[in-house]
Amino acid sequence: MWWPWLVLLAVVALVLCACLAMAVILYKNCQEPFESAFAALSDTGDGVEVQEVCHGRVFLPAQQSSNLGLVYLPGALVDARAYAPLCRDIANRSGCAVVLLDMPMRMATFGMSRISQAMREVTSVTRWAIGGHSLGGAAAAKFFMNAISASSELAIDEKRLLHAEVVALLLHAASVDASVSIDLSGLRDIFALQVLAENDEVHAVLAIKQEKLSDGNAGVTVTIEGGNHAGFGHYGPQTFPVPDGVSTIGLAEQQTQVADATINWLQAIDQRPSRIQ
């Protein structure tokens, strides 16, 4: 009888059509960088050197005064280069190396293995913060929780191959999957920063309980008044998966405030001694 095969072919055709429709939707909503983002990848005279690393680039300040570094993951469907101005500013004013990664299909959750690969190439860094914008922050949270778990294979791999430690999580307008439990209680040398925007309509606010960020932890939540979701990068406007709110402070001001909060946090971490000598 042929009807079971016809049913199977019909199901396969429907699945393929659905996948094609989703691919078209995602492609139409890809976010490209502003021209201002490309300028941050060249020599601007601020002393920051941009070097290529595996699947990305690293911003190295002229006076790298810290052994602390930051790996930054882009938001979903956003060209990673849109975050170049922010990453360059953070590197320049914090004295920390900042790695900005490209992710497969512009989806940070598909490129988790790239994080460790890039870290290994920046040998001057022995302590790492991992973070990102939107979906990039959610992916960073998964990497972070695995890395600080003493029993995880990832943590063992980090210590054996990197001779480095992951000590901090940075969330820029980021939500975290419900399966990822962020519990920093009792971890006095682990740090977290969440930067939100008042007019961000794209992602729900991630609630990190105050007790998990208290005592010795440099756990901070900062809200940018008048900022929106796309203002964390040089791209926009963003209309997917829902329309973003309208920024009332402008891109330059939001970028400065986001960078200020991140730099102050990194400098607070840098004052703490490293566990790896």
Q: What is the pLDDT of residues 99-139, one digit of tens each?
A: 999 999 999 999 999 999 999 999 999 999 999 999 999 99
Q: What is the DSSP letter of 142?
A: H
97/85 Cα distance (integer angstroms): 14
DSSP 144-207: HHHHT-TTSHHHHHIIIII--EEEEEEEES----TT-----TT-TT-EEEEEEETT--SSPPP-
**7 with 79, same domain?**
no
Task: Answer whether residue 149 shows pLDDT above 90.
Answer: no
pLDDT of residue 219: 64
Task: Answer whether residue 90 shows pLDDT above 70.
Answer: yes
Looking at the structure of the chain, the number of domains it has is: 2
More confident residue, 20 or 35: 35
Is 275 among the domain residues? Answer: no
**210 with 263, same domain?**
yes
pLDDT of residue 127: 94
**8 with 106, same domain?**
no
CB-CB neighbours of 17 under 10 Å: 10
**8 with 52, same domain?**
no
Task: Answer whether residue 262 shows pLDDT above 90.
Answer: yes
Task: Answer whether residue 28 shows pLDDT above 80.
Answer: no
**39 with 20, same domain?**
no
Mean pLDDT of the chain: 83
pLDDT of residue 45: 87
Is residue 30 very low, low, confident or very high in pLDDT (cuts 50, 70, 90)?
A: confident
pLDDT of residue 80: 98
**2 with 98, same domain?**
no
CB of 134 within 8 A of CB of 91?
Answer: no
**220 with 112, same domain?**
yes
Task: Answer whether residue 169 shows pLDDT above 70.
Answer: yes
Classify the phi-psi angles of 66: left when phi > 0, otherwise alpha if psi is within -120 to 50, otherwise beta. beta
In 28-119 the beta strands, taken as DSSP E runs, fall at: 49-53, 56-60, 68-73, 97-101
Is 277 among the domain residues? Answer: no
Q: How far is CA 84 from CA 1, 90, 194, in A?
A: 60, 10, 20
Q: What is the residue range of 23's domain?
A: 1-30
Look-up of token digits 């519990």: 183
**26 with 107, same domain?**
no
pLDDT of residue 11: 73
pLDDT of residue 66: 87
**165 with 56, same domain?**
yes
Reference 118, options 51, 185, 45, 20; nearest CA is: 51
277/271 Cα distance (integer angstroms): 15
Q: What is the pTM of this model?
A: 0.85
CB of 94 within 8 A of CB of 85?
Answer: no
pLDDT of residue 186: 54
Task: Answer whether residue 276 shows pLDDT above 90.
Answer: no
Task: Answer whether residue 9 shows pLDDT above 80.
Answer: no
130/25 Cα distance (integer angstroms): 29
Least-confidence region, from 77-81, 157-161, 237-241, 252-256: 157-161
Is 129 among the domain residues? Answer: yes
- Percentage of the chain lying above the pLDDT 90 cut: 58
Is 125 among the domain residues? Answer: yes
**90 with 167, same domain?**
yes
CB of 185 within 8 A of CB of 211?
Answer: yes
pLDDT of residue 205: 44
> What are the pLDDT digits (tens) for 43-76?
888 999 999 999 999 999 988 888 999 999 999 9
Judge if the upstream peptide bond of residue 241 is cis by omega within 30 degrees of 0: yes
Phi, psi of 165 (to 5 degrees): -130, 150
**89 with 199, same domain?**
yes
Is 104 among the domain residues? Answer: yes
- The CATH number of residue 55's host domain is 3.40.50.1820
**59 with 185, same domain?**
yes
- Geometric angle at alpha carbon 241, from 76 and 226, rounded to 5°: 85
> What are the pLDDT digits (tens) for 170-211?
999 986 665 555 555 555 667 899 999 999 999 744 444 333
